Amino acid sequence: MRVRQLPETVVSRWVDSFNARDLERMLACLSEDVDFHPVRMSGLGASYRGHDGVREWFARLRRLGHDYRIVLAEARDAGDGRVFASGSLTLGGEADVGPFCALHRIAGGVIVSAHQYHSDPDMIEQLGLIA
């Protein structure tokens, strides 16, 4: 039986799993048909669909040696089943290399869509993506 968690907790668990490079734990946080738009990096696609798509992204990430981590500063309810996450990216354990934010849609206790940005969270608010 799956225990209901706050949407913010689901997003935090996904980030922790990503940082640990634990693909199975990451997938457990995602819907089978997740619509995933990761941070744009050289050699990676703009979007991936479902668990197979996330596996493809993860394999490419490893193959290309992209060793970035997400330092989560906050994950907050943005209304309508959405969670806004913000923080920064680090590369190879070094100091922050830039801002990070993401907008997730949660349904049934899992992430059904995620759009990640290498952008200042204020910009996302200015674009009207969150209130």
User: If pLDDT is split at 50, 70 and 90, which confidence band does 131 have?
Assistant: low
Rounded mean pLDDT of 14-19? 96
Cα 19 → chain centroid: 11
pTM metric for this prediction: 0.85
Question: What are the residue ranges spanned by the domains of the chain?
Answer: 7-126
Q: Are strands 96-107 and 68-79 parallel, antiparallel or unpaired?
A: unpaired
Average pLDDT score over residue span 19-47:
88
Q: How confident is the model at residue 17 (pLDDT cuts 50, 70, 90)?
A: very high
- Condensed to tens digits (0 to 9), the pLDDT of residues 48-95 reads 999 999 999 999 888 887 788 999 999 999 888 999 999 998 877 666
Give the confidence band of 9 by pLDDT, cuts at 50, 70, 90.
very high
pLDDT above 50 for 1: no
Q: Where are the beta strands (DSSP E) in 19-67?
A: 30-37, 48-49
For 7-126, the fitting CATH number among 3.10.450.50, 3.40.50.970, 3.60.21.10, 3.40.50.300 is 3.10.450.50
Distance separating alpha carbons of residues 58 and 33, to the nearest angstrom: 16
